[in-house]
Structure 1
Amino acid sequence: MTASTTPGSAPDGTPHGLVPGADPGTVGPWLAERLGDPRWAECALSPIGGGRSNLTYRVDSPAGAVVLRRPPVGQVAATAHDMGRERRVITGLAGTAVPVPAVLAWSEEGPPVDAPCFVMELVDGVVPLGELPAGWADTEADRGRAGAALVDVLVALHAVDPHEVGLGDFGRPEGFMARQVRRWGKQWDAARESGGAVEESTATALTGLSAALAAEVPQAQRNTIVHGDYRIDNCLFDADDPGRIRAVLDWELSTLGDPLADLGLLLVYWHEADDDPVWRAAQHLSSPTRLPGFPTRTELATAYARGSGLDLEQLPWYVAFGAFKLAVVLAGILARVHAGMVPASMAEGLDDAVDPLVALGEHVLAHGLERSAR
């Protein structure tokens, strides 16, 4: 999927080729049959990514290399890891202005991983996460072009007619944001009931943020395909041209709905060099976007409005919802770790991540995208 991610051992230390959730002895013969090339039978698997979401493996063999995606082992919320939906949206977007990897093979159940899965092409490129690779986007102009490409692709996604690409029934767009607030509110209720997710003061504030969002759900201006987790490190950029995105990845939360949900969450993930405390505290993931040349959140929003034609008066609500959604996701991980359902390594770095996101959501709802008092 990316040449910038160096495959290594699994999070639990499992060596190359022997990874949780996928056996090369089964994957190889299955690929040989599905792709019509016996050289796939002997393969090695290497995990890509941290394993908090769908599991991703690079599969190497004498026939070449591909990427395998499957749900988490012992997953809890099956609808959040629907391999069929992810495969379907990538297939539908092939040939549009939205760059996606080609789907090569899939299985609804049974072999090769005893769970729904699919195989897609390996696209080489750079995933900008943390520090940028040496020599890539090392000028302000190149970083500006990378930010512009991110907005352009999001605008292109939201301009795709779902019916024209076979995705007219991919979701229920009417009432989408109200259902999203309810859905993530229920996810939070489940995490809170399991205990151990967050301090009680944070839990109370998170419940209050849920109620505040539910009380003022904006009316969607347009219904489109939404990615659900659009951010710079879910895009794979050309290694030689920072102004070109070669593939958008991780479509597991995609559906039909309000496109401003994508923009709101993108702004939550975005870092600026002079961010004030309320924004900086909520940034639990590293990001290169605070480097000079990357656009500010205001510049991103302005470019998106210009490209999409949408009115951004209600954007603060969508940013607050993005903070709420991310807080619930992290609280759910902490709750599952506390219950012993998933490895403790999945919660690494998250112990103090929920409360600042709640504070950011409250701040943005009350004051818009203005800076907080320092």
Structure 2
Amino acid sequence: MVRTDFGVADLAAPGYGLSMTRVRPSAASAVREGDELDWARVRRWLGEAVPELSGPLSVLQFPHGRANLTYLLEAGGTRVVLRRPPFGDLAPGAHDMRREHRVLSRLWRSYDRAPRAYAYTDDPSVAGAECFVMEYRDGEVIRDELPSSMRGYDDLGRRLMFALTDAMADLHLVDPAECDLEDLGKPAGFLSRQVSGWARRWELAAPEDGDALMAQVGERLAKTMPETQTHGIVHNDLKIDNCQFDPDDPDRVQSVFDWDMATLGDPLADLGTLLHYTPNTDDPAEIQGGVRYPPELTLPSQDEVAARYARRTGADLSQITWYLAFARWKTATVYQQLANRARRGETKDSRNAALGDTVPVLARSADSLLDQLS
């Protein structure tokens, strides 16, 4: 099946056309060995799905993501981004390209930090799995090395993290009905389903010598679950390297990526994830390495990030420690899944092999956080 969500007139509209901007040298590189697709088949599909793309196809890969595969496609000077799941066995419900396409084909109407999706197919003959294409935007993603275009700003670490906090808060203030996403998920019982669902994922991913504390933390989370205050659009993995910045404006996130787990639910689950990725200086080194921040950046504390979010949304954060514990536990499960894929030889990304070593550290941290609720 091929789906498109635009017409020629839409593509010509200011701000929503297919990108013809330059690609920053650090953004994309040659396709990684083992991540190649049948580009002739992809080109034939694009000719039908995005007829505005014409001419020979050139391909680069965005190399930094650990899971979903993301490629930069260019034909006739026009650029789009193609995303598909990773190769190999996937956890149930993970890497949902249909969901990501659905979100990004609608959310841009109410949230301009969301790139617009253009076309989707579930025909595996195109890219080996379901895939979709979306708008390409030019900008900087912050990882382990600060781009030269963003050096020279005072207090940059705090400004970037506060910009990310604002972007999260603004997403949570979006009315899903305004962008036709009111049926994206079932908000009632969201936290309960999250805990039980990630517990099942851990059962499937746990190695024979897996840390028994992981199952115990899951049980504790289920018993101490807070009441949800409000429901909204939840990204489910919002962190600094899933965002893009305009180097001329470090105080505002330009784009938010990786929407394949987006749903309707408790927005504080997103805030717990962001706090997990904003480590305090006394956190173990393994936790501080969860996101690769440039070493010259000085970040705000978790308390400062939480306070800024509360001011922008009016949320009560008296139970935020539970959400942080949940984020640590969920991240540990994701790391084990990625380590398993590396051990099975399903990825050439060497970074994933050692992620399983971090699982016990994250489990202990989550368990210690839950002790604070007693």
TM-score range, shorter chain: 0.7 to 0.9
- 1:225 is the counterpart of 2:246: no
> What residue is the counterpart of 2:111 in the other structure?
97
With over 3 angstroms needed to count, the CA separation of the structure-2 counterparts of 1:38 and 1:312, relative to structure 1, is closer
> What residue is the counterpart of 2:28 in the other structure?
7
Query: Aligned equivalents of 2:163 and 2:270: distance in 1?
Result: 15
> What residue is the counterpart of 2:331 in the other structure?
326
Contact 1:177 1:258 in 2 (8 A): yes
Question: Which residue, out of 362, 365, 370, partners 2:370?
Answer: 365
Range with greater deviation from structure 2 (52-61 or 2-11):
2-11
Tell me how far 1:99 sits from its aligned partner: 0.8
The code of the aligned residue for 2:78 comes to G
> Percent of pairs identical after alignment?
36
Contact 1:70 1:116 in 2 (8 A): yes
> What residue is the counterpart of 1:149 in the other structure?
163
What is the number of equivalent residue pairs in this alignment?
A: 352
- SS, match of residue 247 in structure 2: coil
The code of the aligned residue for 1:257 comes to G
Range with greater deviation from structure 2 (342-351 or 55-64):
342-351
Query: Aligned equivalents of 2:69 and 2:83: distance in 1?
Result: 6
Question: Which residue, out of 40, 44, 50, partners 2:58?
Answer: 44
Tell me how far 1:359 sits from its aligned partner: 1.7
Tell me how far 1:141 sits from its aligned partner: 3.5
The code of the aligned residue for 2:40 comes to G
Q: TM-score by structure 1 length?
A: 0.87
Tell me how far 1:23 sits from its aligned partner: 2.1
Question: Which residue, out of 23, 47, 64, partners 2:38?
Answer: 23
Range with greater deviation from structure 2 (108-117 or 247-256):
108-117
The alignment's C-alpha RMSD in Å is 2.3
With over 3 angstroms needed to count, the CA separation of the structure-2 counterparts of 1:344 and 1:127, relative to structure 1, is closer
Range with greater deviation from structure 2 (148-157 or 282-291):
282-291
Query: Aligned equivalents of 1:142 and 1:281: distance in 2?
Result: 24
Question: Which residue, out of 164, 174, 183, partners 1:160?
Answer: 174
With over 3 angstroms needed to count, the CA separation of the structure-2 counterparts of 1:270 and 1:34, relative to structure 1, is same
Contact 1:97 1:153 in 2 (8 A): no
> What residue is the counterpart of 2:80 in the other structure?
66
- 1:109 is the counterpart of 2:123: yes
> What residue is the counterpart of 1:119 in the other structure?
133
- 1:213 is the counterpart of 2:234: no
- 1:173 is the counterpart of 2:187: yes
With over 3 angstroms needed to count, the CA separation of the structure-2 counterparts of 1:142 and 1:344, relative to structure 1, is closer
Query: Aligned equivalents of 1:106 and 1:8: distance in 2?
Result: 24
Tell me how far 1:143 sits from its aligned partner: 3.4
Contact 2:29 2:63 in 1 (8 A): no
The code of the aligned residue for 1:23 comes to D
With over 3 angstroms needed to count, the CA separation of the structure-2 counterparts of 1:70 and 1:78, relative to structure 1, is farther
- SS, match of residue 44 in structure 1: strand
Question: Which residue, out of 312, 320, 334, partners 1:315?
Answer: 320
- SS, match of residue 80 in structure 1: coil
Q: TM-score by structure 2 length?
A: 0.87
> What residue is the counterpart of 2:94 in the other structure?
80
Tell me how far 1:111 sits from its aligned partner: 4.9
Range with greater deviation from structure 2 (333-342 or 294-303):
333-342
- What is the CA deviation profile of residues 151-187 of structure 1, one whole-angstrom value per residue up to 9, with x for unaligned ones? 1111111011112211111111111111111001011
Tell me how far 1:30 sits from its aligned partner: 2.3
> For structure 1, which runs of at least 5 residues remain unmatched after alignment?
369-374
> What residue is the counterpart of 1:371 in the other structure?
none
Query: Aligned equivalents of 2:245 and 2:342: distance in 1?
Result: 33
With over 3 angstroms needed to count, the CA separation of the structure-2 counterparts of 1:301 and 1:173, relative to structure 1, is same
With over 3 angstroms needed to count, the CA separation of the structure-2 counterparts of 1:288 and 1:335, relative to structure 1, is closer
Please identify runs of 4+ aligned residues in structure 1 that moved more than 4 A.
289-293, 339-344
- What is the CA deviation profile of residues 235-264 of structure 1, one whole-angstrom value per residue up to 9, with x for unaligned ones? 111122111222100001111110000000
> What residue is the counterpart of 2:7 in the other structure?
none
The code of the aligned residue for 1:215 comes to K
- SS, match of residue 126 in structure 2: coil
Query: Aligned equivalents of 1:356 and 1:295: distance in 2?
Result: 23
Query: Aligned equivalents of 2:284 and 2:120: distance in 1?
Result: 41
Query: Aligned equivalents of 1:111 and 1:339: distance in 2?
Result: 24
The code of the aligned residue for 2:47 comes to A
Question: Which residue, out of 285, 307, 314, partners 2:290?
Answer: 285
The code of the aligned residue for 1:89 comes to V
Tell me how far 1:80 sits from its aligned partner: 1.1
> For structure 2, which runs of at least 5 residues remain unmatched after alignment?
1-18
> What residue is the counterpart of 2:3 in the other structure?
none
- What is the CA deviation profile of residues 308-329 of structure 1, one whole-angstrom value per residue up to 9, with x for unaligned ones? 1110010000000000000011
Range with greater deviation from structure 2 (159-168 or 291-300):
291-300
With over 3 angstroms needed to count, the CA separation of the structure-2 counterparts of 1:108 and 1:67, relative to structure 1, is same
Contact 2:87 2:346 in 1 (8 A): no
